[in-house]
C-alpha cells in the first residue's frame, strides 16, 4: 500500500482553495484505523483508477478487464509510445520528492518518468470523468520535484485522461516560480490560522461531513429566499455553487444511512422490498407472441434500439474482424446507419464560469 504524504501533490489544489482542510483531514485520519480510513476515503471509481494504474505499471488485473477498461489501457499505451519514444530512459512508479533545504516539502509517485539530456518528462494517468488541468498545482509540484531530482532545466508534464478529453502536455521551465507557488500553498496549509472554505473541492475532502464551513454554507443557503437572490445574479451564482456541494453531501448521507440500516444499525429508517419494473428480456420471442394482436410496424414503433449498446456491439465486432479502434468504429456505424441515425437536440447546461471567479 502506497503511503501518501500529508502534503502530497494530489492534495495541493484542494489546500489552495481551503488551507484549513489539511489539518481537518489530519484530525479525521487520526481518529480512524487503517481499515476505517480506507473505507472512508475509498470508492468504486477510486478502486478502478488504482487498478488501471497498476495494470499500466505491469501488474496483471485481478479480474478480466471490461471492454471499456481494455480500451483505456490500449489508448494509454498509444499515448505513452507517442510522447515518450524519444526518451533514453523511461521509468514507472517513481517516487518524486521536492526538498525544502533538508526537509521534504512534498512527495508523490509519478506514473511515468522519461529522461532526455535536457528535459524530464512526467506522465500522469487520470481515469476519472472530470477534466484535470495539466497546469494545476499537482502538475507543478511533480514538475518541480522532477526538475530538482533529475537536475533538468525543463519538465514536460503530461496528464492523459481518456475519459475526460485525451491528453495535453505543458512545459515548465521556471523552477523557482513553480516551487514558490507550491511552497506558498503548503506553508498556508501548515499555518495554525489556516482558514476553511466551502466549495466544489469539498467533494474530495475526508473532513467534509464534519466541516463547519460546509455547515455554515448550508445554513446560509437555507436562509436565502429566491426573490432576493434573483435580484443579485452574482450572489445567486455563488449560492448555486454551495447548492452543488449540499446536493453531493445529501447523496452521501442518504447512501451512508442506507448502508447503516442494511447493516442493522438503529437509524430510525427501515429497508423495504420494492418490486422491480417489468421488462422484456427476449425481444424476438415477445414480438412473435404479440404479432397476432399487433402488426410488425406497430411493434417496431414501440421498440427503442439503445444507441450506446448498438455502438458497443458494432465496435466489438469491428475490432475483432478489422482491428478497428472504437474511435473509428463509431464513425463507421454512423455512416452505415445513414438516415436511420440522427443526433438529439443540443441542450443548454449551466456550469460555473471559473474565469469569472478570478
pLDDT one digit per residue (tens) for the chain, 358 residues: 455 788 889 899 989 988 888 888 888 888 878 887 777 676 778 888 899 999 999 999 888 999 889 999 999 999 999 999 999 999 999 999 999 999 999 999 999 999 999 999 999 999 888 788 878 899 999 999 999 999 999 999 999 988 877 777 899 999 999 999 999 999 999 988 888 877 777 767 777 767 766 666 666 666 666 666 666 777 777 777 777 777 777 887 888 899 899 999 999 999 998 888 888 888 889 889 998 899 988 888 888 888 888 888 888 888 888 887 777 888 888 888 888 888 888 888 887 776 665 5
Residue with grid cell 472554505, as numbered in its chain: 197
Domain identity same for 155 and 77: yes
Domain identity same for 219 and 315: no
Show Cβ contacts of residue 65 under 8 Å, excluding neighbours closer than 6 positions: 55, 73
Structural domain includes residue 54 = yes
Show Cβ contacts of residue 147 under 8 Å, excluding neighbours closer than 6 positions: 120, 153, 154, 155, 172, 175
Domain identity same for 98 and 162: yes
Give the DSSP letter string of 31-45: TS-HHHHHHHH--HH
Phi, psi of 104 (to 5 degrees): -80, 120
Domain identity same for 80 and 178: yes
Give the count of domains, the chain.
Answer: 3
CATH of the domain at 49: 3.90.320.10
Query: Which pTM value belongs to this model?
Result: 0.64
Structural domain includes residue 131 = yes
Domain identity same for 75 and 161: yes
Neighbouring CB atoms inside 10 A of 202's CB total 26
Contact 100, 5 (CB under 8 A): no
Structural domain includes residue 25 = no
Structural domain includes residue 195 = no
Domain of residue 259: give its range.
Answer: 200-266
Domain identity same for 50 and 183: yes
Domain identity same for 64 and 174: yes
Domain identity same for 86 and 51: yes
Structural domain includes residue 353 = no
Structural domain includes residue 92 = yes
Contact 219, 237 (CB under 8 A): no
Collapsing DSSP states into helix, strand and coil, what is residue 300? helix
Give the end of a domain, one of 163, 190, 217.
190
Structural domain includes residue 5 = no
Domain identity same for 205 and 87: no
Domain identity same for 183 and 212: no
Domain identity same for 68 and 186: yes
Percent helix / strand / coil, the chain, rounded to 5: 55, 15, 35
Contact 143, 157 (CB under 8 A): yes
Collapsing DSSP states into helix, strand and coil, what is residue 345? coil
Domain identity same for 47 and 186: yes
Give the end of a domain, one of 155, 190, 225.
190
- C-alpha distances out from residue 158 to 138, 236, 238, 254, Å: 11, 36, 32, 38
Structural domain includes residue 218 = yes
Amino acid at each position: 500500500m502506497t503511503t501518501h504524504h500529508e502534503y502530497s501533490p494530489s492534495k495541493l489544489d484542494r489546500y489552495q482553495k481551503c488551507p484549513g482542510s489539511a489539518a481537518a483531514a489530519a484530525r479525521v485520519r487520526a481518529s480512524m484505523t487503517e481499515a476505517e480510513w480506507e473505507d472512508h476515503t475509498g470508492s468504486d471509481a477510486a478502486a478502478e483508477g488504482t487498478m488501471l494504474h497498476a495494470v499500466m505499471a505491469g501488474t496483471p488485473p485481478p479480474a478480466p478487464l471490461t471492454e471499456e477498461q481494455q480500451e483505456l489501457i490500449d489508448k494509454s499505451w498509444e499515448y505513452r509510445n507517442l510522447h515518450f519514444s524519444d526518451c533514453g530512459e523511461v521509468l514507472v512508479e517513481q517516487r518524486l520528492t521536492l526538498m525544502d533545504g533538508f526537509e521534504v516539502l512534498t512527495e508523490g509517485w509519478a506514473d511515468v518518468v522519461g529522461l532526455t539530456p535536457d528535459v524530464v518528462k512526467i506522465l500522469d494517468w487520470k481515469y476519472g470523468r472530470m477534466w484535470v488541468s495539466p497546469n494545476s498545482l499537482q502538475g507543478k509540484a511533480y514538475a518541480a520535484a522532477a526538475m530538482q531530482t533529475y537536475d533538468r532545466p525543463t519538465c514536460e508534464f503530461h496528464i492523459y485522461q481518456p475519459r475526460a478529453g485525451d491528453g495535453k502536455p505543458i512545459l515548465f521551465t521556471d523552477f523557482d516560480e513553480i516551487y514558490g507557488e507550491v511552497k506558498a500553498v503548503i506553508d498556508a496549509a501548515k499555518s495554525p490560522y489556516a482558514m476553511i472554505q466551502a466549495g466544489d473541492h469539498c467533494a474530495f475532502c475526508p473532513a467534509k461531513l464534519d466541516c463547519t464551513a460546509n455547515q455554515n454554507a448550508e445554513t446560509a443557503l437555507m436562509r436565502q429566499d429566491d426573490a432576493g437572490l434573483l435580484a443579485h445574479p452574482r450572489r445567486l451564482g455563488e449560492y448555486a455553487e454551495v447548492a452543488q456541494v449540499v446536493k453531493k453531501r445529501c447523496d452521501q448521507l442518504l447512501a451512508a444511512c442506507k448502508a447503516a440500516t442494511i447493516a442493522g444499525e438503529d437509524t430510525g429508517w427501515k429497508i423495504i422490498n420494492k418490486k422491480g419494473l417489468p421488462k422484456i428480456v427476449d425481444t424476438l420471442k415477445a414480438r412473435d407472441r404479440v404479432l397476432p394482436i399487433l402488426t410488425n410496424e406497430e411493434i417496431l414503433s414501440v421498440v427503442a434500439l439503445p444507441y450506446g449498446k448498438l455502438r458497443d456491439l458494432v465496435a466489438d465486432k469491428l475490432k475483432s474482424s478489422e482491428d478497428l479502434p472504437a474511435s473509428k468504429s463509431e464513425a463507421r456505424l454512423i455512416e452505415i446507419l445513414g438516415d436511420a441515425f440522427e443526433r438529439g437536440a443540443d441542450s443548454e447546461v449551466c456550469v460555473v464560469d471559473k474565469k469569472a471567479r478570478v
